[in-house]
Amino acid sequence: MAEEVFQPLPTVPDHPALEEEVLERWEREGTFEKLRERNRGGPRFSFFDGPVTANKAMGVHTAWGRTLKDLFQRYKALRGFDQRYQNGFDCQGLWIEVGVEHDLGLNSKREIEDFGLEEFARKCRDVVVWSSQELTRASKRLGQWMDWGNDYFTFSDTNIEYVWRMLKRVHERGWLYMGHRSTEWCPRCGTSISQHELAMSGVYQDRADPSLFVRLPLVDRRGESLVIWTTTPWTLPANVAAAVNPGADYGRRASGEWVAAARYPDETFEETLRGSELVGWRYQGPFDTLPPGAGVEHRVVEWDEVSLEEGTGVVHIAPGCGGEDFELGRREGLPILMPVDEAGHFFDDYGWLHGLSTIESADQIVGDLRERGLLVAAGLYEHRYPHCWRCDTPLIFRIADDWFISVRDLRQPMLEANATVEWTPEYMGKRMDDWLRNMGDWNISRRRYYGLPLPFYPCACGHLNVIGSKAELEDRALGGLDQLEELRRPWIDRVPVRCEQCGEPVERVTEVGDVWLDAGIVPFSTLGWQSTESIPEGYATGAARGLTHADLPDHAYWEKWFPADWVSEMREQIRLWFYSQLFMSVVLTGKAPFKKVLGYEKMLDENGREMHGSWGNMITADEAFSRMGADVMRWQYSAQPLDRNLLFGFGPAQEIKRELLTLWNSVSFFVSYANIAAFRPSWSELEPAGDLEPLDRWLVERTHAFVADATASYERYHAYEVIALYEAYVDDLSNWYIRRTRRRFWDGDEIALRVLWYGLVQALRVVSPVMPFLTDHLWRNLVLDGPESVHLAPWPEVAEPDRLYLDEIADLRRVVTLAHQARATSGLKLRQPLRRLVVEGAPSVEAHAAELASEVRVKEVVFGPVEAELRVKPNLPALGPRLGRELGAVQRALRAGEFEELGGGRFRAAGHDLEPADVLVERAGRDGSAVATLDGVTVALDTTLDDELRSEGRVYDLIRTVQTLRKERGLELTDRIVLTVPAEDAQLVERHGDWIKDEVLAREIRIGAALAIEKAA
Ligand SMILES: [Zn+2]
Ligand SMILES: [Zn+2]
């Protein structure tokens, strides 16, 4: 036995174990550092990492995005691009603080303030510290190569200062204002929620709310009333008006109740009036029994938006509790009643309701209406209702004073900037356009604690001071600087500044900023926009001190790396991070901050359900690492078409593991025979040259095609195409090249070994960005004198393949598949040799008749017409809609055999041309033949058996049995044997002895009592 150059492979790979080993080696050998060193100074590929919220351990959802980011960065690195690799953590805002509140058992803003804001801020930072370490560990385990340790943290003073600078500019342009308006409000968090936050997944949930029909007696029409409908009982005490559609008809029931006639088509009415005629009618409010309602004159107003699709067509209007109501109220000059406080509890002047929450009050309100005879009907109403994205509390509408950035002057420039961006998939770019066309002003203020402090100092003199940097703050501060640990509450609240207008001291507003400000500024804050000098570790400021070594570069660096060539996040981020980045970039530069975007849809469990901790179908990243391995996870993520939800789970992972065995087994096959032949391939002679047989030439061309096609798919950011191309390639390599070349490997044919080695090595290189572990593991085994890691080898050269030749073999493989189908219908085993195959309609295969014969195991292949009866049936789903009433005639003609064959699978019947997709074609063979047909190619297999064929069939059976015995006995591939066959097979040995010996490596065949093998001496 020759020295084993290549390490023999176990039957199946242990992915997790192999990955840990590779990780350890990367670490030891500094593989990533070597890669970065090699590419330094090369062409640049700029990528901005969307910051992951640092409040949790890694989940399989997060690992999806991280995989795509890593995959394309690895691809670009193989192509020699210099990259930044900066990872980011999102560290402020509701995500963090609501989690901390929960952990501390606090449940209101009052309780947080009692707990102490300093200590609360420190607890929030602790969460970020823990989570950033966890996420880093798991990301490394996933194989993500980033510049760990030089991450950006959005709670650094540097990041905050950059947002301040942007806000100051917004103020200078006149776009910043304080708005008094109705807003979606979380009563638990005690803050408003902005329009784009409603786009986050999980915000809209199915919910059953009370459905109430309430009678409102009219003041000037005795015995008559309006009937309104509501699903939010708590808003009734704030009712000030009832709206009708001026163009619709309203009818009076016998009971005196007025409703829209169109809503009750089966009812007859005593009197009918146009909606416009009802306008101005006065009515008694539903809660005139309480002081606020008693002071209001309730009246009917007109509103074009009144829906005739639901309710009664008379709409209850409470401008203090609804966005549209507020706008209508403003137009009509209606009074505003605001019934609940920040926490959603009724104010004191609401009498017996005072202190109740919006939800608690529902039953009592319904009871009270019933008692007073105002309730017409009550039930439940199922609908999609928005909830707080952080704490899951149903949102309400409240009037609040919030800070807004006007989008009026920005909408058009943002649309123009987005038009320069290439979105994949394309429809996501359209979604962004839609959002930009419809977005309202950006509500940037939140009444919370652990967030970006808004640098707004409104003065009693009417002047709004906006601070643009820490230096400016220090310059204008009137005290409190000595205790300013971070630019954060509560410390910053203790730093008053001097009003630049009147010189009086002014205090900061207490609001913090929308968390999307923090993430949107990243293309500026991390790249040193307008920074006069490069400051080593200059990003490690404020709360980020001690967590990172990230530098603050200078403006020249920003010029180099802005805009990003590419960014990637899930679709939800269109209205979140992609939007906030675009917004801030258009404010600061007038340009889009990225050139290309890759988006993807949602992740569900493998049965298509959302994953929830409480449903037991949640998978942690650690569980997935240990049960499927990172490569298999990455495969599952990458194979996902971008426009569909990913169904992630262990079931699909099993499938992938099976799929990956084709490559594993092919490498294993190579290793076995290369070791036997003492074959030593050299990296310097990668591309096979010399005396290639046609099949060798085919694999080389097939490899060229795979490299070329996969490269094009990577360039399009279509990872799922790379996967599909890889699967087809490895199938060709294993199930065509290896199988058809098997005998040459037994003979230690060096050319065959060289060609196979080339095919395997190229496959590893192309798919290494997807599966960095398995490919590197196999690479180290296969490549003896090349780069020490597949990730340090450059991207394979893209050569133009001989497509004509490849198509020929692809046709040949299709004919083989058809022949196998025909054989399957006859019930004959694949091993059984047959006399003849007739092929019709595949002229390109004629040059490969011998290959075809051996592959299909027939003595002879004939190219010519197949004698078979042609049956053509209409494909109804395709043809029905197209032909309509003509279908019957076509159907009759086909059934009667009255049709003309046009070639290429097309037919003409009853005057209609039928395309291949329009018809189902069957060919029934004559006696003794099996027929199969597809896309204009037909094969007929002669299934008649004679003695010779039968006896050859038995030889194949015998060979297979012996091969199995060899395996069971653990014989080496090269071991010779002595074979004993039972007497009834003596005749087989007599006729085919040499053939059998050759196939099973037998020195000698003996006749004995039973089949047996023995290792030859
Ligand atoms: Zn909330
Ligand atoms: Zn002033």
Q: How far apart are CA 11 and CA 577, in angstroms?
A: 46
pLDDT tens column, 419-452: 999 999 999 999 999 999 999 999 999 999 999 9
**DSSP codes, 841-897:** S-GGGGGGHHHHHHHHTEEEEEES---EEEEEEE-HHHHHHHHGGGHHHHHHHHHTT
Query: Which of 140-144, 327-331, 492-496, 925-929 is least confident?
Result: 925-929
Q: Degrees (nearest 5) of the Cα angle 212, 217, 219?
A: 150
Question: Left (φ > 0), alpha (ψ -120 to 50) or beta: where does 957 sit?
Answer: alpha
Rounded to the nearest whole angstrom, what is the distance from the C-alpha of residue 499 to the centroid of ligand 2? 5
Q: Degrees (nearest 5) of the Cα angle 531, 536, 540?
A: 85
Rounded to the nearest whole angstrom, what is the distance from the C-alpha of residue 590 to the centroid of ligand 2? 32
Rounded to the nearest whole angstrom, what is the distance from the C-alpha of residue 403 to the centroid of ligand 2? 19
Residue 733: closest CA among 666, 787, 783, 683: 666
Residue 2 has pLDDT above 60, yes or no: no
Rounded to the nearest whole angstrom, what is the distance from the C-alpha of residue 190 to the centroid of ligand 1? 7
pLDDT tens column, 42-83: 999 999 999 999 999 999 999 999 999 999 999 999 999 999
Rounded to the nearest whole angstrom, what is the distance from the C-alpha of residue 440 to the centroid of ligand 1? 22
Average pLDDT over residues 92-106: 91
Average pLDDT over residues 533-559: 97
Rounded to the nearest whole angstrom, what is the distance from the C-alpha of residue 186 to the centroid of ligand 1? 5
Rounded to the nearest whole angstrom, what is the distance from the C-alpha of residue 401 to the centroid of ligand 1? 18
For residue 898, what pLDDT is reported?
87
pLDDT tens column, 773-819: 999 999 999 999 999 999 999 999 999 999 999 999 999 999 999 99
Q: Which amino acid belongs to residue 949?
A: L
Residue 594: closest CA among 606, 583, 605, 602: 583
Please indicate whether residue 483 or residue 926 has the higher confidence score (pLDDT).
483
Q: How far apart are CA 118 and CA 114, in angstroms?
A: 11
Rounded to the nearest whole angstrom, what is the distance from the C-alpha of residue 193 to the centroid of ligand 1? 9
Would you say 187 and 393 are in contact if contact means Cβ atoms under 8 Å apart? yes
For residue 935, what pLDDT is reported?
81
Q: How far apart are CA 245 and CA 276, in angstroms?
A: 7
Q: How far apart are CA 203 and CA 234, in angstroms?
A: 21
Half-sphere exposure of 984 (CA within 13 A, CB side): 4
Chain-centroid distance of CA 684 in Å reads 40
Question: Phi then psi for 959, rounded to 5 degrees?
Answer: -60, -45
Ligand nearest to the CA of 465: 2
Rounded to the nearest whole angstrom, what is the distance from the C-alpha of residue 454 to the centroid of ligand 2? 18
- The full 3-state SS of 124-149, as one line of letters, equals HHHHHHHHHHHHHHHHHHHCCCCCCC
pLDDT tier for residue 26 given thresholds of 50, 70 and 90: very high
Residue 334 has pLDDT above 60, yes or no: yes
Average pLDDT over residues 753-772: 98
Rounded to the nearest whole angstrom, what is the distance from the C-alpha of residue 224 to the centroid of ligand 1? 43
Please indicate whether residue 459 or residue 201 has the higher confidence score (pLDDT).
459
Question: Left (φ > 0), alpha (ψ -120 to 50) or beta: where does 7 sit?
Answer: beta
Residue 538 has pLDDT above 50, yes or no: yes
Chain-centroid distance of CA 504 in Å reads 53
Rounded to the nearest whole angstrom, what is the distance from the C-alpha of residue 450 to the centroid of ligand 1? 14
Residue 932: closest CA among 865, 868, 852, 872: 868
Question: Phi then psi for 507, rounded to 5 degrees?
Answer: -105, 155
Specify the DSSP element, H or E, that contains 377. Answer: strand 375-386
**DSSP codes, 162-230:** HHHHHHHHHHHTT-EEEEEEEEEEETTTTEE--GGGGGSTTSEEEEEEEEEEEEEEBSSSTT-EEEEEE
pLDDT tens column, 487-517: 999 999 999 999 999 999 999 999 999 999 9
- Whose tokens are 């960095």? That residue is 772
Ligand nearest to the CA of 457: 2
Ligand nearest to the CA of 342: 1
Rounded to the nearest whole angstrom, what is the distance from the C-alpha of residue 582 to the centroid of ligand 1? 27
Q: Cis link prior to 881 (omega < 30° from 0)?
A: no
Rounded to the nearest whole angstrom, what is the distance from the C-alpha of residue 461 to the centroid of ligand 2? 4
**DSSP codes, 301-325:** EE-TT--SSSTTSEEEE-TTS-HHH
Rounded to the nearest whole angstrom, what is the distance from the C-alpha of residue 98 to the centroid of ligand 1? 8
CB atoms within 10 A of CB 409: 11
Q: pLDDT > 90: what percent of the chain? A: 83
Ligand nearest to the CA of 499: 2
Average pLDDT over residues 573-592: 97
Q: Which pTM does this prediction carry?
A: 0.86
Q: Which residues contact 541 (CB under 8 A, 6 or more apart)?
A: 156, 157, 158
Torsion 497-499-503-506 (CA) sign? negative
DSSP letter, residue 11:
S
Rounded to the nearest whole angstrom, what is the distance from the C-alpha of residue 95 to the centroid of ligand 1? 10
Q: How far apart are CA 318 and CA 325, in angstroms?
A: 6
**Residues paired with residue 937 on neighbouring β-strands, in sequence order:** 934
Rounded to the nearest whole angstrom, what is the distance from the C-alpha of residue 505 to the centroid of ligand 2? 8
For residue 95, what pLDDT is reported?
86
Residue 919 has pLDDT above 90, yes or no: no
Rounded to the nearest whole angstrom, what is the distance from the C-alpha of residue 558 to the centroid of ligand 1? 37
Rounded to the nearest whole angstrom, what is the distance from the C-alpha of residue 185 to the centroid of ligand 1? 8
For residue 1, what pLDDT is reported?
46
For residue 216, what pLDDT is reported?
97
Residue 555: closest CA among 90, 162, 170, 80: 162
DSSP-based three-state secondary structure for 736: helix
Average pLDDT over residues 318-343: 93
Rounded to the nearest whole angstrom, what is the distance from the C-alpha of residue 56 to the centroid of ligand 2? 44
**Residues paired with residue 605 on neighbouring β-strands, in sequence order:** 648
Q: How far apart are CA 832 and CA 899, in angstroms?
A: 37
Q: pLDDT > 70: what percent of the chain? A: 100
User: Residue 440 corresponds to which tokens in the numbers above?
Assistant: 């309202």
Would you say 340 and 234 are in contact if contact means Cβ atoms under 8 Å apart? yes
Q: What is the CA radius of gyration of the chain?
A: 38
Ligand nearest to the CA of 390: 1
pLDDT tens column, 258-305: 999 999 999 999 999 999 999 999 999 999 999 999 989 999 999 999
Rounded to the nearest whole angstrom, what is the distance from the C-alpha of residue 66 to the centroid of ligand 1? 28
Ligand 2 ion: Cβ-proximal residues, 5 Å cutoff: 459, 461, 463, 499, 501-502
For residue 378, what pLDDT is reported?
93
Q: How far apart are CA 215 and CA 255, in angstroms?
A: 11
Rounded to the nearest whole angstrom, what is the distance from the C-alpha of residue 513 to the centroid of ligand 1? 16
DSSP letter, residue 785:
S
Residue 918 has pLDDT above 60, yes or no: yes
pLDDT tens column, 840-853: 999 999 999 999 99
CB atoms within 10 A of CB 399: 18
For residue 55, what pLDDT is reported?
93
Q: Are strands 422-424 and 919-925 parallel, antiparallel or unpaired?
A: unpaired
For residue 856, what pLDDT is reported?
93
For residue 775, what pLDDT is reported?
98
Instruction: Look over the chain and give the mean of its residue pLDDT values, rounded to a whole number.
Output: 94
Q: Are strands 834-840 and 456-458 parallel, antiparallel or unpaired?
A: unpaired
Specify the DSSP element, H or E, that contains 626. Answer: helix 621-627
pLDDT tens column, 143-201: 999 999 999 999 999 999 999 999 999 999 999 999 998 999 999 999 998 888 888 88
Query: Which of 19-33, 364-378, 501-515, 890-904 is least confident?
Result: 890-904
